[in-house]
Structures are given as C-alpha cells and as structure tokens.
Structure 1
Amino acid sequence: MYEPIRTGSSGTSSDFPHRSREEELDIQLAGHLAALLAVTDELRSLAPSADLDTAAEQLAEQVARLRAGHAPVRASVSVAVGSESSALHDRAHALAGRALVVAASRADTTAAILAAERMEAHAAARNLSHAG
C-alpha cells in the first residue's frame, strides 16, 4: 500500500547547514537587541538624551559582538507624524524583556544586564508619560 522509505527521513547532514543552540540564541538575541536599538534611535530623535545616547552605543556594541564584529545597520530616523513616546517606550520595554529572556537562557551576563537596565529605564519613562 505504501512505498518504503529509501533514504533516511532527514537526508544527509550536508543537505543544509546546521547551527548549534548557542548560535541560534546568538542570532535571536542580536535580532532583539537590534530591534531595541531601532526603537532607541527613534526615541532619541523625539527627545534626545545622554541616557538614550549611551544606551544606543551599548546596544550597537552588543549587536556587533553577537554578529562577529558586524555593526548593525542604523538608518537616520525621521520622526513620524503622530509618533508617541509612550508607545515607543512600551515597545522598547517589550523588546528589552525578550532580549533579557534570551540573554538569560544563553547565560550572557553582559547582554542580560543591559536588557534589564533598558527595561527599567523604559518602564520609568512610561510611568512618567502616563502620569503627566
């Protein structure tokens, strides 16, 4: 009724490249941090601050480290009409949370500390904008 399988279900190991769990986590963490950097740059264009400048530098360094020295692509950000800093802080907080989870699972203390600091900063900024 069924034709027998003639080769292994996964084929040969040379069919496609394999990544280790650590490599996959590096890619994931770099992606979350790069997204957080993009939102940070957007916030910097709305309300420049030394804290956001420092955070952007640190995020760019971590992304470059995780991407084997390749610096993240950063576009000059123009403020979109209707951009609201509260919504950006919400998004940044969520991205930092995702980065923290991945950093913790790969035991990357430096990235975890940076992500936690960014979560705190965006939570504080969010609370200030909701209170005002």
Structure 2
Amino acid sequence: MYEPIRTKSVHSTMAGSTTDFPHRSREEELDIQLAAHLAALLAVTDELRATAPSEDLDAASDRLADQVARLREGRKPARSVASGGQVKLTALHRRAHALAGRALVVAASRADTAAAILAAERMDAHAAAQAEPQELSGVG
C-alpha cells in the first residue's frame, strides 16, 4: 500500500545527537523577545518625542535604549526619526501602552526586575497620557 521510508528524516526526533542546528535556551529566547518589545517601544517613544517633546519622554527613551543595548550584548538599538505626518497622540500612547505591557509580561517571565520596572513605569505614563484631556487647536 505505502512505500517504506528509505531516507533518514530531516527532523531529528531522537534524543540522541541534535547538534545539526543551533539551539537557544529559554532565557536566550526571552532576551530576544524582550529586546524586540523594548526596541518597538523605543521607536514609538521616539515618535512621541518628535511630536510632543518632554523631559519624561527623553529620559524614558534613554533608559529604553540602555535596556535594549544590555539585552543585545552592547549593540545599540536603531533610533527612529519622526514620520513627518500628522500623528494622533492618543494612538501613539495607546500603541506604546500595549508594547510596554508586552515587555512587562516577558520581563516578568524572565525575572528581569530592571526591565519590568521600566515597562511598568512606561505603562503608567502612557495610561496617564491617554486619560489627559487633549487640547484642541482652533482653526482660523
């Protein structure tokens, strides 16, 4: 009915030698995930800084860049430049809040206290920014 398998499987399912491809530990995978979430949060923070500059955002972006560099073994993250379009601040704060939440989950699972505190602080700051009434600019 079926033809027998004549070649060795490309997927190693045996507990023996599995050195055919690189493996990462759970901690390494979490480091990569956390660095990615923090780098994405840094990009949104840089966008916010360009749209509505503040000392809080300046300090946060520096701390985020330091954490990303630490997780990437000293490699500094790429910094974004403002897109130049009309950006809604509430949408940026909402996106930053979500990214900080994801970073907090990963930081907590890898027991990275410094990153978890930073992510929680950023969540609070972006939640507060969303709650503030936005100024309307008059036309004419």
Q: TM-score, normalised by structure 2?
A: 0.86
Provide the aligned C-alpha RMSD in A.
Answer: 1.9
Which whole-Å deviations, capped at 9, do the CAs of 1:5-56 have from their partners, x for residues lacking one? 7536417523221000000000000000000000000000011100000000
Instruction: Identify the residue that residue 121 of structure 2 maps to in structure 1.
Output: 117
| 1:66/1:5 CA distance change after superposition, 3 Å | farther
- Structure 1 runs of 4+ aligned residues shifted over 4 Å read none
- Structure of higher CA gyration radius: 2
Structure 2 CA distance for aligned equivalents of residues 5 and 74 of structure 1: 52
Instruction: Identify the residue that residue 88 of structure 1 maps to in structure 2.
Output: 92
State the one-letter code of the partner of 1:73: A
Instruction: Identify the residue that residue 27 of structure 2 maps to in structure 1.
Output: 22
Q: Determine what percentage of the aligned residue pairs are the same residue.
A: 65
Structure 2 gaps, min length 5: none
Whether the aligned pair in 2 keeps the contact of 1:30 and 1:67 (CA below 8 Å) is: yes
State the one-letter code of the partner of 2:115: A
Instruction: Identify the residue that residue 49 of structure 1 maps to in structure 2.
Output: 54
Cα drift, residue 129 of structure 1: 3.8
Whether the aligned pair in 1 keeps the contact of 2:47 and 2:80 (CA below 8 Å) is: no
Structure 1 CA distance for aligned equivalents of residues 42 and 110 of structure 2: 20
| 1:3/1:129 CA distance change after superposition, 3 Å | farther
Whether the aligned pair in 1 keeps the contact of 2:104 and 2:115 (CA below 8 Å) is: yes
Structure 1 CA distance for aligned equivalents of residues 69 and 30 of structure 2: 15
- Determine which of 70, 83, 87 is the counterpart of 2:75: 70
Structure 2 CA distance for aligned equivalents of residues 26 and 17 of structure 1: 16
Structure 1 gaps, min length 5: none
Structure 2 CA distance for aligned equivalents of residues 72 and 5 of structure 1: 48
| 1:17/1:118 CA distance change after superposition, 3 Å | same
Q: TM-score, normalised by structure 1?
A: 0.91
| 1:46/1:131 CA distance change after superposition, 3 Å | closer
Whether the aligned pair in 2 keeps the contact of 1:42 and 1:79 (CA below 8 Å) is: no
Whether 1:7 and 2:12 are equivalent positions in the alignment is: no
Matched pairs, number? 131
